[in-house]
């Protein structure tokens, strides 16, 4: 489990050792370095560092230059400066430039421990607030009104507190990344970053560099060092979406990285330790993933816990609360006063198959809010218009699952949904569709629709 971490920077190794022992008594994990340059590298490898204690006078990059580098990178980590009596003025100048405070050598150990501990606790509180904010803003879509979804979340919560690798299965748009974030924020790694990557969205010739990083000059176009996503997610969670699309030639390196907890960037033989929770996901069926797309050893390495998100059509109870959440979200975004759905509108939504799952529902509600002309309620007619708009915007993946619908098929489905929304009252359905009753009868006969 990640510990509270402090970075100590001093060109005197004995001072680094002494200070490390002081802070370990306080329950802090001390990471020691003897130069400003090395401190910046450590910060890349240890994103959960919560405070920095740096000597002001050092060869090469001194404490002032290190402070400026850290502030330039917009890091919110508090930096404390250590100084002797002869450089107090410089220490005061450092505080003006963003340092948290300064300590005079020789130190008052108790004061040093108290100030650093307070800074670490403040950082922890900030991260907890960020975590809660992320849960409120990013976790609301993981609705569990249905029994199926409640069981998935129950298993996810149990697995989250362990270090076990988790594989998430689910159709496109079902909420695999949302579930991965749900797990992250309930895990021991919640104070670290959540880093996600879609393995199918990155060209295979770039994916290795994206994951593992590279050194300057490792290949044409590598004009600077790149950290890679494994190290960027250190002490947090790395989410590898569409793991089934991981190129076969990269799978042995991925397996080795997961098993050893060490990353070797392109262009170097040096390996770097990392500690992160790895969650994978795929839209492919489990058996196909195991036999066709992944090496068996990699499959078993990532699938200690398997969670399967049921498609939205199999958990209809989740449609109304999800729709209500998206309505609130987009009403605020587009400055609408729409607050609720009519009974008929909810009936239409609940009876739609949603081949694009939660993502399709989200886009549908956004479409409705964009084109709706006022009113506090979403009516069935608004939903019908949105369903037509959604089909125009379907992704190629959804079209592959549904097949491209003809205008006749669309019209037939609209009539069936209107009849359903109006409890098969043909006069109301005709009015809802903007048709005369006679024309509705003719179309029902032509499409062989029997109420």
- Binning the chain into helix, strand and coil, the percentages to the nearest 5 are 55, 15, 35
Reply yes or no on whether the pLDDT at 141 is more than 90: no
Q: What is the pLDDT of residue 105?
A: 84
Averaged over 231-236, what is the pLDDT? 88
Q: Identify which of 74, 123, 122, 127 has the alpha carbon closest to the alpha carbon of residue 236.
A: 127
Q: Give per-residue pLDDT as tens, 96-106.
A: 888 889 888 88
CATH code: domain 313-446 is 1.10.8.60
Q: Give per-residue pLDDT as tens, 344-399.
A: 888 889 889 999 999 999 999 999 999 888 788 899 889 988 887 444 444 444 44
Q: What DSSP element (H or E) covers 331?
A: helix 319-333
Q: Give per-residue pLDDT as tens, 32-76.
A: 999 999 998 888 777 678 899 999 999 999 989 999 888 876 567
Averaged over 117-121, what is the pLDDT? 86
Q: Are 414 and 433 in contact (CB under 8 A)?
A: yes
Averaged over 12-16, what is the pLDDT? 92
Around Cβ 255, how many Cβ atoms within 10 Å? 18
Averaged over 274-279, what is the pLDDT? 90
CATH topology of domain 139-310: Rossmann fold (3.40.50)
Reply yes or no on whether the pLDDT at 9 is more than 90: yes
The residue to which tokens 């990344």 are assigned: 177
The domain limits of the chain are: 5-132, 139-310, 313-446
Query: Both ends of the chain: CA-CA distance in Å?
Result: 60
Q: What is the pLDDT of residue 142?
A: 63
- Judged on CB neighbours under 10 Å (0-12, 13-18, 19+), 415 is buried
Q: What DSSP element (H or E) covers 5?
A: strand 5-9
SS3 state at 206: helix
Same-fold call for 5-132 versus 139-310: yes
Q: Are 191 and 275 in contact (CB under 8 A)?
A: no
Averaged over 430-439, what is the pLDDT? 77
CATH topology of domain 5-132: Rossmann fold (3.40.50)
**Is the Cα torsion angle 114, 119, 120, 126 positive or negative in sign?**
positive
């Amino acid at each position: 489990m990640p510990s509270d971490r402090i970075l100590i920077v001093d060109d005197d190794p004995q001072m680094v050792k002494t200070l490390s022992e002081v802070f370990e008594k306080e329950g802090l994990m001390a990471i020691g370095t003897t130069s400003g340059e090395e401190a910046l590298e450590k910060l890349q490898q240890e994103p959960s560092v919560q405070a920095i204690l740096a000597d002001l006078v050092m060869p090469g990059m001194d404490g002032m230059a290190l402070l400026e580098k850290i502030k330039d990178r917009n890091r919110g980590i508090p930096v404390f400066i250590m100084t002797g009596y002869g450089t107090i003025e410089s220490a005061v100048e450092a505080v003006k430039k963003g340092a948290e405070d300064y300590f005079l050598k020789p130190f008052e150990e108790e004061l040093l421990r108290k100030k650093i501990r307070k800074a670490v606790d403040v950082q922890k509180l900030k991260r907890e607030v960020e975590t809660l904010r992320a849960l409120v803003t990013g976790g609301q879509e993981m609705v569990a009104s249905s029994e199926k979804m409640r069981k998935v979340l129950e298993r996810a919560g149990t697995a989250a507190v362990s270090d076990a690798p988790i594989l998430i299965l689910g159709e496109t748009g079902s909420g695999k990344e949302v579930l991965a974030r749900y797990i992250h924020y309930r895990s021991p790694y919640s104070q670290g970053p959540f880093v996600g990557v879609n393995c199918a969205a990155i060209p295979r010739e770039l994916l290795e560099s994206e994951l593992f990083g590279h050194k300057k000059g490792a290949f044409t176009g590598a004009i600077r060092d790149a950290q890679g996503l494994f190290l960027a997610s250190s002490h947090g969670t790395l989410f590898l979406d569409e793991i089934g699309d991981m190129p076969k030639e990269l799978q042995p390196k991925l397996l080795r990285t997961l098993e050893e907890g060490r990353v070797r960037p392109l262009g170097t033989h040096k390996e770097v330790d990392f500690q992160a929770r790895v969650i994978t996901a795929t839209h492919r069926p489990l058996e196909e993933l195991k036999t066709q797309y992944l090496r068996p050893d990699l499959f078993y390495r990532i699938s200690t816990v398997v969670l399967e998100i049921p498609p939205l059509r199999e958990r209809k109870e989740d449609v109304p609360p999800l729709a209500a959440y998206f309505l609130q979200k987009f009403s605020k975004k587009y400055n609408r006063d729409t607050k609720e759905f009519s009974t008929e509108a909810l009936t239409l939504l609940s009876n739609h198959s949603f081949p694009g799952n939660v993502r399709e529902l989200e886009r549908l509600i956004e479409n409705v809010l964009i084109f709706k002309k006022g009113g506090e309620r979403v009516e069935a007619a608004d939903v019908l218009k949105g369903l037509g708009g959604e089909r125009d915007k379907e992704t190629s993946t959804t079209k592959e699952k549904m097949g491209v619908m003809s205008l006749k098929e669309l019209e037939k489905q609209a009539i069936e949904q209107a009849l359903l929304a109006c409890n098969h009252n043909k006069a109301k359905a005709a009015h809802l569709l903007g048709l005369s009753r006679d024309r509705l009868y003719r179309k029902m006969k032509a499409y062989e629709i029997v109420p």
